[in-house]
Structure 1
Amino acid sequence: MAKSNAVWGIDIGQCALKALLCRPHEKEADRIIVESFDYIEYPKILSQPESEPEELVREALSQFLSRNEVAGDRVAISVAGQNGLARFIKLPPVESKKIPDIVKYEARQQIPFSLDDVVWDYQQLTGGSEEDGFALEPEVGIFAMKRDQVARALKPLEEAGIEVDFIQLMPLAVYNFVCFDRLGDFKSGTYDPQNPPDSTVVISLGTDTTDLVVTNGFRVWQRNIPIGGSHFTRALSKELKLTFVKAEHLKRNATEADDPKAVFQAMRPVFSDLLSEIQRSLGYFTSIDKAAKIGNVLALGNAMKLPGLQRYLSQNLDHEVKPVTEFQQLSAGSAAGKPQFKDNTLSFAVAYGLCLQGLGKAELRTNLLPEEIVRTRLVMSKKPWAVAGAAAILAGLTFNYFSHVSAWRETDNEAMAAAESRAQSVQTTATGYQSKKDSIHSEFETVSLTGEKLISNVEGRLRWLELFKAIDSALPKDPRPAKERKETEEDISSREELHIAAVESQQFPELSEWFSQVETAYTEAKGIMASSDAEGDMGDPAAEMDPMGMEPGAEGEEGALSGAGWVIQLTGHHYHNSKADRSNQMGEFVKNTLITNLEEGTVELPDGENGEMIEVPIKDLAISHVWLVKDQKLRDEIIDPEANLTGTATAGGYGGGYGGEGGYGRGGATITAGQDGEKSKLITLSRFDFIVQFVWQPKTRAERQELALARREAAEAAAEAAALNAEDESAAESELEPEN
C-alpha cells in the first residue's frame, strides 16, 4: 500500500502513550498541521510495583488502534535516551568523500560493542565549512542502540500490526522540536565557534528520568538524569507511609491535600536532587564549551505541573524556566479547542519531533530502524509487481513452447534423427573430457590446500618467538658495560633491571569469560575507577554510566575484549628500590618500564620488504590489557656480592641474563654464595616481587603489515591535508602583502 503524506509520531512513555498525526502545511513550508492526536494514560505507571509493562502497553496500543486508523500512514517511534548511545566528535580536515570511511572507523572506537551487535547511524552537523572539496573541522554525531533493545522497542507495535518506519532517541526528537518550533531562523546566520548563538536549555521531565538537552541549533549536547516524576511519588510514599497509588494521587493534587506543607516537605529532597543534577550538568557543559551562553530554559513533561517546581528551578538556576504551553509552528487543526490536547501540551514535544522527522523537516534525520527490516519491506512492496512480471514471462514462454513444437514437427524426419545421433556422440565425448578436467582440478586443489597448510605452519611457529622477543624488548636494560657496575647496595638498587623468573600462559576460547573474573581487580590496578570518580566530581556527570549500560573501564579504553586468545603471566622481582628515588620503585618501577613498554614500545621484527628488520609497535602483536596483578611489600634479602658467578637464576640473585628453570631476566649474571661466603661482605637489598599479566591474541605477519599500511595511509592523508592547508594559508598571506 502506498504511504500517505501524513506521519504518526508515537511516544510510548512510562506513564502514558502520546501520539500525533501530522501532515505538511499546504501554504507555509515552515509549519505543519495536526490531523489527529491521542493521549492514553496507563492504569499503572510501568515502573510501579506489581505492574505488568508489556500487558499495559499492549492494552494501550489496542485502545489506540480502536480509535485511530494507522494503515497507509508512516509511523515514527521514540526510545528512551538511556537505552541508546550518542557521541559527537570533531574530525580533522579531510576530503568530504572520505568522511563515511572515517566515521566508520570512529564508530568502532566510540561504540563499546561489535558493530554487528548494534544498529547505528550518523549525520554531519550543520554549520561546518568546506573548501575545494575539503571539510574543515566537521562535527559528526554517531548514534547507536543494541539490536536486542531495538527488538524490544519494536515488539509491542509489531504484535499490534503497526509497521514502524523511523526509530529515534527521545533527546534527539526534543532537539528536532526545538530547532523547528523555537529556532526556525538559526540557519539564516553563519556559525562561528568562537561566538555561537545563545543556547536553549530544555528540561524534559519524564516519569523515571529527565532528558537535559542544550542546543543553539548548530550543535547539541544531551544528558540523561535518573530522576523523574515517580521519584516524587516514592518520596511521598516513604515519608507519609502511603501506598504508591495514594501517593501518586496526592502528588497530582498537592494543593488540595489536608496538609500541603507536609506534602512539599516530603518532596523537598527530590527537588534538591533534581536541581543539583541540572546545575552539575550545565556546569560541565559550560566547561567543555566555554564560548556557549545560556539563553532560554524550556520545561517539558506533565511532571513539570507539580506546584512550585518551576518557580524553585527558576530561582536557583538564575534563569526563568518557561513551560511550553503552545507550539508556535504547529497548527492544531482538528485538535484545536480539545481540552485533552491543551492539558497535555507539555508531553507532546517528543511526538512532535518524531512527526518532523517523518515529514523530512528535522535537523537530525538518523534512523535506528534495522536495515534488514527496511530491505524486507522493500522486497514485499515489489512482490505484486514481481508476481505480475512472472505471469507475463510464463505466458510468453508458453507461446514460445507451442511455436517451437510446431517447428519441430515440420523437421521431424530421418535426416534430423541422424544429425541428432552424431550430436549425441559429440556430447558424450565432451562429457568425458569435462570429467577428466574436473578430476585434475580436484587433485590440484588438494595439493594447493596442503601447500597453504605448510605455509601457515611455518608462519605460525614464529609467533611465540616474536612474543618472547617483544617481552625482551620491553624489559629495562642497564646501559652500562658489566665492568662499570659495582657490587654495592647503592649501585644494585639503582640499576634499571627486572628479573623474570617464570613465563606462564593459558589459552582461553573466549577471553571475555576470563576478564569478567578479574575485571574489578583490573580496573583498580589500572586506576580506572578512581579516575572515573574524580572526573565525576569535577567534570562530566554522564561519565558515571555509559548510555549503553556499560561502566567506564578497561573495555571502554582498549576496546571490547572478545574471541579466543592467551593470557600470559610474568612472575619476577627487582631490586630497584633505592631510598633516593621513592617515586620510581616497587610497583611504580614495573609500571614505568615493563608495562609502559608493552603498551607503547616497539620491537624489531622482519616485517619490512623482503624480510627487512623494522620497528613494529608491540601492540600490533595484539598485546593488550597489561596490568600489575599482584605486588607485595618490600622484603630484605641478604646476598653476597663477592660470591662466584654461576649464571643460574637463584632467589638471592640480583643479576639477570636468561635464567635457568624457565626464568627470563635482564642484566648481569646471578650469583650464589661461595665457599668462603662467611668471610664475604654481605649486603642487604630491598626486594620487590610482582606478577604481570596481559592478553595476547596472535596476529600473523600479513595482518600486522595491513595495520602498518593502514597507519601509513592515514598519516599520508593527514600530511597531505596539512600541506594543502599550509599552501592555502601561504596563498592568503601573499594576497594580503602590499605590492612594491
Structure 2
Amino acid sequence: MLAEKTKNIFLKIVLTKHTESTMKKSAKTRFLPGNMKMMHLLKSRKHADTCKPALQKRPSLFKQHNIKTVLGLDIGNNALKAVKIIKKNNEVTVVDFDIIEYPAALPNTKLLESHHIRDAIKIFLSKHTFSKKTDVVVSVPGQLALSRFSTIPLVSKKQLKSLVSFEAQQQIPFDLKDVVWDYHRLSGRTPNEEGIEIGFFASKRETLDSIINNISFPEFNLTGILSSPLAIYNLVLFDQHVEGPTIIVNREEENTDLIIIDHAHFWLRTIPLHEVNADFVKEIQRSMEYYKSLSKSTDTVHFEKLLFVGNKSNDPLLQKTIQDNFTYKVELLNTLNNIRISRTVDQALFSGNCASLSVALGLAIQGIGLGKTAINLLPKERILAAQIAKMKPYAVVALGCFALLIAIQYIGLRTHISKLNNARNYHQAMLQNVKNLENTYKNADKIFNEKKSELEFISSIDPARFFWIESTEKLLASIPDNVSINSLQSSWIDPDALNIGEGKAKKNQKDSIVKKCLLMGIRGESREPGIRYIEEHVLQPIKNLTLSGQKVAAFKNVELVPNSCRQVYSEAEATECISFEIRWLVKSQEEIIAESEKMDLQEEKNNSSGM
C-alpha cells in the first residue's frame, strides 16, 4: 500500500510539472505574430509527441507486479520433472520445462534421501538460467503423504478452527508435533447436507526436511509443498473440462494415485501397486464403490470419464486393461486448454510428455495462485521467513521514497512532527499497557471460572468418585466377544461446539459460567460384516447402560460418528473387519435426578390408574 501511494504521488508530480510547462508555453504564443505563432505551435506539438512515450514508460515500471513466475518441481522415483509457468495479465504460459532421469532408489533406502535427486537438480540448474530468485512449489509423493476425510458438525467460523484441530488429532495417526498438516473444507455433494466435510492432508516432518534439503539452492525460493494427487486435482480443475464425476489414474513407477473429482468435491487414495493385473482393476473398482457409499443416495454418483496421467499412462497394457473392464470414456491428458505454450518451447516434445508433467503443472498452478485448494505442507516457520524475505526489497524502496518526499516537502516541520509523534507514541504505549493488563485479568478470570465449572461437574457426576471404574467395567462387559475395543477417549467440551440439541450449555445467572460436558467415545473393530450388528449389539447397550443406584441411563446422545465405519484388515485377527467410532455425552447428576423423579411420578400415575 505504501509503494502504491508513493507511485501515485510521483506520477502526480511529473504530470503537474508537464502541464505547467505546457501552459506557460501556450501563454507565450498569445503575443507572437501569426507565422511565428504557427511555427511555435508546431514545435511545441513535436516536443509533446517526443515526451509522450517517456511518460507512458513510467507507469509500466510499476506494472511488473502483475507478472508472476513459478517453477513446479515434481520429484519422482526415477526422474525430476520441472515446468516453469508465467502468469501475465490473467494469461498463463509455459515458458520452460525439462525431464531429468536418474537411477531409482535402492529397495532398502528412502526415496527422498537419494543423492541422485540433488545431482539431478544441479544438472537442471546448469541447463537453465535464472536471472533472479524464482518461486518454487515442490511435490511430495502420494505414498509419503496422508489424506483423510471426515464430517464434523455445523459450527460457526470462530468454533471451526478449534473443532478442526480436535478432529485432526483423531484422524492423523501420528503425534501432530512430528507432522505438518493442513485442511481443506469441501463443498457438500448434496444440498442441505448436515455437517461440514473436511479433508485432512499431512506428511512427516522428516520427509519434508529431506525435500527442503534437496532443493536448498540460492536460485530457488521455496514457497510451497503439495502432495502429487492434490497437484493433479489443481491442474484438472483449472485446465480440463470436467462436467461429471471423473476418475483420474496417476500411474507412476511404484504406486498409483487415484483421484475422484465430483464437481467441486474430490476424494484421494494411493494404491501401492505397480503392476497392471486383476488386483489393480479390483482396487480401482473397490475405491469407486466406496466413494459411492459415502453419498446418501448412490444414484447421484454416475462416473462418466476416466483420465490417465503420469509416467506410465502411455502403457498400452494399462489402456487395454481399463477399456476391457470399464465402460467409461477413457482419455489421456495430452492437450492443455487454458494454458498456453510459449514459442520458445518444443511443442511436440511437450505434448508427448504432457501426461508425465501433470504434477509439475499442477504445482505451478498452485504457485501462481490459481489452484482450487490452498493446501501447503511447507512448515509454517519457513512460510513466514519466506514472506518476510520477499517483502524486504519492497519495504526498503517504499521507505526510501517516502523518506525522500518527507524530506523535500516537510523539512521545516520535522522537529514539530517528531515531538507530536513522540507524545502520541507515549500515550499509545500507556493505553496499550492498560489494555494488556485488562486482557490479562480477563484471561485469568476466564481460566478460573472454567476450572471451577469442571471441578463442580466432576463432583456432580458421582460424589463417591467411583464413576470411572464402574462405567468402564460395565461398558466393556456390554461389548460382544466378536467386537474388539482399540481405544477409549474422553474430553471436556462446550456442548454448543458439537451442536447437540439436548446438550446446550447451561449458564449460571449469577456468574455466567458455562458448564462443560464430558464427551466420551470408543474406537473398535467388529468381525461381523454389517453395520446393523454394531448398532444393535454395541450402540444400543451403551444407550441403555445404567450405573449403581440409578434407574435411568447414564449416557445421552449416543451415536456412530459419521463416516467412521469403514472396512479394514485386522492384523491381530488376520481377517477383514469393520472399524467404527461411537461417542456420547455423560449425564450430570442433576439430569439423572430429574429423569428419575419424572420416572417415579409416571410409575405412581400408572399404579393409581390401574387401581
- Which SS does the other structure have where 1:334 is aligned? coil
Give the AA of the match of 1:57. I
2:295 aligned with 1:295, yes or no?
no
Q: Counterpart in 1 of 2:101?
A: 41
- Which SS does the other structure have where 1:208 is aligned? coil
2:52 aligned with 1:15, yes or no?
no
Q: Counterpart in 1 of 2:28?
A: none
Question: Against the structure 1 CA distance between its residues 369 and 386, is the aligned structure 2 distance closer, same or farther, given a 3 Å change threshold?
Answer: same
- Which SS does the other structure have where 1:222 is aligned? strand
Q: Distance in 2 between matches of 1:329 and 1:558?
A: 49
Deviations 1:405-446 (A, max 9, x none): xxxxxxxxxxxxxxxxxxxxxxxxxxxxxxxxxxxxxxxxxx
- Which SS does the other structure have where 1:180 is aligned? helix
Equivalences for residues 98-497 of structure 1 within 5 A: 98-126=159-187, 137-158=195-216, 162-183=220-241, 198-228=244-274, 232=275, 270-289=276-295, 290=298, 291-334=300-343, 336-381=345-390, 469-470=466-467, 473-474=470-471
Q: Distance in 2 between matches of 1:363 and 1:626?
A: 36
- Tell me if the contact between 1:10 and 1:78 (Cα under 8 Å) persists in the aligned partners: yes
Out of 125, 129, 134, which is 1:69 matched to? Answer: 129
Question: Against the structure 1 CA distance between its residues 309 and 62, is the aligned structure 2 distance closer, same or farther, given a 3 Å change threshold?
Answer: same
Q: Distance in 2 between matches of 1:202 and 1:17?
A: 22
Q: Distance in 2 between matches of 1:202 and 1:559?
A: 40
1:35 Cα deviation after fit: 0.5
- Which SS does the other structure have where 2:73 is aligned? strand
- Tell me if the contact between 1:39 and 1:340 (Cα under 8 Å) persists in the aligned partners: no
- Tell me if the contact between 1:93 and 1:138 (Cα under 8 Å) persists in the aligned partners: yes
Give the AA of the match of 1:207. E
Q: Counterpart in 2 of 1:89?
A: 150
- Tell me if the contact between 1:203 and 1:298 (Cα under 8 Å) persists in the aligned partners: yes
Q: Counterpart in 2 of 1:527?
A: 484
1:345 Cα deviation after fit: 1.6
Deviations 1:524-556 (A, max 9, x none): 99626xxxxxxxxxxxxxxxxxxxxxxxx54xx
Q: Counterpart in 2 of 1:732?
A: none
Q: Distance in 2 between matches of 1:281 and 1:309?
A: 18
- Which SS does the other structure have where 1:527 is aligned? strand
Q: Distance in 1 between matches of 2:190 and 2:253?
A: 41
Q: Distance in 2 between matches of 1:36 and 1:51?
A: 30
Give the AA of the match of 1:474. S
Give the AA of the match of 2:246. T
Q: Distance in 2 between matches of 1:321 and 1:47?
A: 34
Question: Against the structure 1 CA distance between its residues 525 and 118, is the aligned structure 2 distance closer, same or farther, given a 3 Å change threshold?
Answer: farther
Structure 1 vs Structure 2: percent identity of aligned residues?
Answer: 29
Q: Counterpart in 1 of 2:440?
A: none
Deviations 1:103-157 (A, max 9, x none): 23332332233433332222333468999xxx97443333222322221221201
Q: Distance in 2 between matches of 1:215 and 1:385?
A: 40
Q: Counterpart in 2 of 1:416?
A: none
Say which is worse superposed, 69-78 or 92-101, in terms of deviation.
92-101
Deviations 1:373-417 (A, max 9, x none): 122233444566889989x9xxx9xxxxxx9xxxxxxxxxxxxxx
Q: C-alpha root-mean-square deviation of aligned residues, in Å? A: 4.9
**TM-score (norm: length of structure 2):** 0.54
- Tell me if the contact between 1:112 and 1:559 (Cα under 8 Å) persists in the aligned partners: no
- Tell me if the contact between 1:2 and 1:72 (Cα under 8 Å) persists in the aligned partners: no
**TM-score (norm: length of structure 1):** 0.45
- Tell me if the contact between 1:4 and 1:74 (Cα under 8 Å) persists in the aligned partners: no
- Tell me if the contact between 2:304 and 2:329 (Cα under 8 Å) persists in the aligned partners: no
- Which SS does the other structure have where 1:305 is aligned? coil
Q: Counterpart in 2 of 1:481?
A: none
Unaligned runs of 5+ in 2: 1-63, 408-414, 416-447, 492-507, 526-547, 550-585, 592-611
- Which SS does the other structure have where 1:221 is aligned? strand
- Tell me if the contact between 2:71 and 2:85 (Cα under 8 Å) persists in the aligned partners: yes
Deviations 1:589-629 (A, max 9, x none): xxxxxxxxxxxxxxxxxxx999xxxx998877xx98999xx
Unaligned runs of 5+ in 1: 187-197, 233-269, 397-402, 404-451, 478-495, 499-523, 529-552, 561-607, 628-665, 668-706, 713-740
- Which SS does the other structure have where 1:5 is aligned? strand
Out of 36, 60, 71, which is 2:120 matched to? Answer: 60
Q: Distance in 2 between matches of 1:107 and 1:122?
A: 9
1:37 Cα deviation after fit: 0.5
1:323 Cα deviation after fit: 1.6
Give the AA of the match of 1:88. F
- Tell me if the contact between 1:130 and 1:136 (Cα under 8 Å) persists in the aligned partners: no
Q: Counterpart in 2 of 1:422?
A: none
Deviations 1:242-287 (A, max 9, x none): xxxxxxxxxxxxxxxxxxxxxxxxxxxx422211211221122222
Question: Against the structure 1 CA distance between its residues 72 and 384, is the aligned structure 2 distance closer, same or farther, given a 3 Å change threshold?
Answer: closer
Q: Distance in 2 between matches of 1:129 and 1:76?
A: 33
1:319 Cα deviation after fit: 2.2
Q: Distance in 2 between matches of 1:373 and 1:3?
A: 25
Q: Distance in 1 between matches of 2:98 and 2:472?
A: 69
Q: Distance in 2 between matches of 1:708 and 1:369?
A: 43
1:293 Cα deviation after fit: 0.8
1:467 Cα deviation after fit: 8.6
Q: Counterpart in 1 of 2:535?
A: none
1:331 Cα deviation after fit: 1.6
Deviations 1:624-652 (A, max 9, x none): 8999xxxxxxxxxxxxxxxxxxxxxxxxx
Question: Against the structure 1 CA distance between its residues 355 and 559, is the aligned structure 2 distance closer, same or farther, given a 3 Å change threshold?
Answer: farther
Q: Distance in 2 between matches of 1:64 and 1:6?
A: 17
- Which SS does the other structure have where 1:377 is aligned? helix
1:41 Cα deviation after fit: 0.9
- Tell me if the contact between 1:128 and 1:136 (Cα under 8 Å) persists in the aligned partners: no
Question: Against the structure 1 CA distance between its residues 526 and 150, is the aligned structure 2 distance closer, same or farther, given a 3 Å change threshold?
Answer: farther
Deviations 1:283-312 (A, max 9, x none): 222222312110110111221222332012
- Which SS does the other structure have where 1:294 is aligned? coil
Q: Counterpart in 2 of 1:491?
A: none
